[in-house]
Structure 1
């Protein structure tokens, strides 16, 4: 089964992400107890670094309280449609809905998860195993010592270059062609945005940024350091005849799609004048970067997201009316879960009598978690006096 010969296969992704994904089936008889177990902590035995990264990632939390509480307000069809990306294996789906408790699925779960499924989210097997065959990216080295290959666990694996291609991520990070559209755009167009970017033309894939060095953490908008490295804020302030002029620019330098992508996150740019050390800062302007839609996902109000290598610019004039300005302040705040907060707040009010106590608790805890995900990305100060225009 071991195969380290890899080339792009146009049919591989179609079959690998063909839905519904089939059950893993009966493990080969010669597999050890450890090899037969598809729980991530079993994979940890040999892939500890990947396991530790995954454990802290959002992939390992795709089935969370924010997901589970919605079972009561969604139809069975709507709820199960989310499984395709949030819990793609039929074995994990059976943990979420009795409709997947078929004889075939339960038998496969018993064979491959002998101790049960502790987390029905996106698991190692969700991406790497189909019908008991392991798949992954080509090895980094050309070392092919025969004695080593012959002793590989689980029959080795089949190497596929697609694991390092953006197309591998498209299945879950791009809405289907026949999906809902607002202003002619799909709700999620991450792959299309990348495909039309300079990054795609340069051969820079999703994995180059979100899985650097094959790290299984998939860092994104929730990671402050990761986001800081991708943006460049610059500004200039001049003064003429008592009026201050602020020219600011937030440039996307390392984001291979629109920033922020999708409809969930929002980024706020706030400019203040500080007149003295005792009074509150004077808010000069606040602008939002993001795609703003209503909670029913039926109307788009605004889309100010930044395209790759492009920038968001702000121009402000401020007359302090003979008051002395000590300094100017520019804050950039990221709200990774803004859309969820709005939706969950409304749904909590609308469905207060419908939700059982357990669902209410999960909703409240999830809402608090998402409210607390906000963070200050940059804080810039400009002391006065400013440079006079040339």
Structure 2
């Protein structure tokens, strides 16, 4: 039971088990976990440049900093992660941290493994004020061995950047095209090929779904949608406006010859480069309600878009996710012999954290007596946060059509 439970932790979302980046030597080295400490005797940096606190990065990169502060990258070590420290082994915890807190310096805030003299010395040097948030930080992606890396400049050529060199803050940076490629995101957003499978599918196949889509063939990368204009917000399923931009709900009502009401509805994926919703956490509910002449409302149809698996991750019950460019179709016929139905409503609700809610509720029931009060409180806080993440994505009402003339 314990080994099954561990699979529902955050590491199933970001687990890194030596994901292959052999097709790209830079990425293979850049995400070679565990990452090295930030040291390089051949590089000279001022005291200010050596401070990797994201607040310092904001001095020159305010827009990126503001975006990051609101992002889930900045919340990767939250209540939902921290409560599980009590039930994870050291190796399991460290595996999770490879993606939730990539730098050894930030990992030292969460794991005893990373509290040796060398790492703590590096932390004191690069985070002299301490680390209040050991989540995914600017340096997690952009700094290795005291060398900055990033995408091509929008204002200067690669040669200009290289020629400026040490005259720029932190000695400039090395241009890497990979920062604008979906492959840069793969190591933390794709289960390893050797990972657990259900019905022939990995638990997480975001990169594969994109790779097999027309978006990949047309050169549309993850960054085009999730980092437009190089924003560092990484908006996703928790952002209603962002989600609405990728979907098109279409529906109509009609009367049949025998007086029944025919509902034809379609939720189409029009601007999403992977299955919707991706992975197995989120569920989307398509519900239809009838309202009669005296204002009474009743649910008549519900379908679920998502991938539903057991909390132990050992069984898949269904997978109704929508592939890029495809649709989820609902066709329902209801009786209305007395012509009592006045309107029909279509409501689409998104539960971004359904699987976590189900899993954490089970943990609270079964583990309340075996975990500390501190851990229990973190679990309760996380469960509350995830319950509050639900939102109405779309709602529409149509009048019931009149009967066809006989």
Short-chain TM bin:
over 0.9
When the two structures are aligned, how many residues end up with a matched partner? 380
Inter-partner Cα distance in structure 2 for 1:154 and 1:74: 38
Is 2:218 the counterpart of 1:202?
A: yes
CA distance 1:145–1:31, shift in 2 (3 Å): closer
Is there any run of 5+ residues in structure 2 with no aligned partner, and where?
A: 1-22
CA distance in 1, matches of 2:161, 2:319: 54
Match of 1:157 among 152, 159, 173: 173
2:203 to 169, 174, 187: 187
Aligned to 2:279: 262
Name which of 76, 96, 113 aligns with 1:99: 113
In the alignment, the residues of structure 2 paired with residue 363 and residue 200 of structure 1 have an alpha-carbon distance, to the nearest angstrom, of 39
Checking the alignment, whether the CA contact within 8 Å between 2:162 and 2:172 is kept in structure 1 is no
State the 1:388 CA deviation.
5.6
How far apart are the structure 2 equivalents of 1:45 and 1:166?
Answer: 28
Query: How far is 1:13 from its partner?
Result: 0.7
| 1:317 Cα deviation after fit | 0.4
In the alignment, is residue 228 of structure 1 matched against residue 244 of structure 2? yes
Q: Cα distance, 1:336 vs. partner?
A: 0.2
Partner of 1:33: 47
Match of 1:171 among 176, 187, 196: 187
3-state secondary structure, aligned to 1:290: strand
Cα distance in 2 for partners of 1:161, 1:210 equals 17
- Distance apart, 1:30 and its partner CA: 4.1
- How far apart in 2 are the matches of 1:174 and 1:387? 52
**Residues of 2 paired with 1:81 and 1:52: CA distance?**
29
Q: CA 1:387–1:134 in 2, change beyond 3 Å: closer, same or farther?
A: farther
- Closer, same or farther in 2 for the Cα pair 1:136/1:277, shift >3 Å? farther
| Paired residues of 2:93 and 2:111 also in contact (CA < 8 A) | no
- Please name the residue that 2:150 is paired with: 136
* C-alpha displacement of 1:146: 9.4
1:71 matched to 2:85? The reply is yes
Query: In the TM superposition, what whole-angstrom CA distance separates every residue of 1:99-134 from its partner, at most 9, and x where no partner exists?
Result: 211121111111111111111100001100011110
What is the CA distance between 1:145 and its match in structure 2?
Answer: 8.6
Find runs of 4+ consecutive structure 1 residues off by over 3 angstroms.
26-30, 142-150, 386-389
CA contact (8 A) 1:26 1:111 kept: no
CA deviation after TM superposition for structure 1 residue 69, in Å: 0.4
2:382 corresponds to 1:360: no
User: Would the aligned equivalents of 1:337 and 1:370 in 2 still touch at CA under 8 Å?
Assistant: yes
Q: Judge conservation of contact 1:27–1:132 (CA < 8 Å) in 2.
A: no
Alignment of 1:306-345 (within 5 A): 306-345=322-361
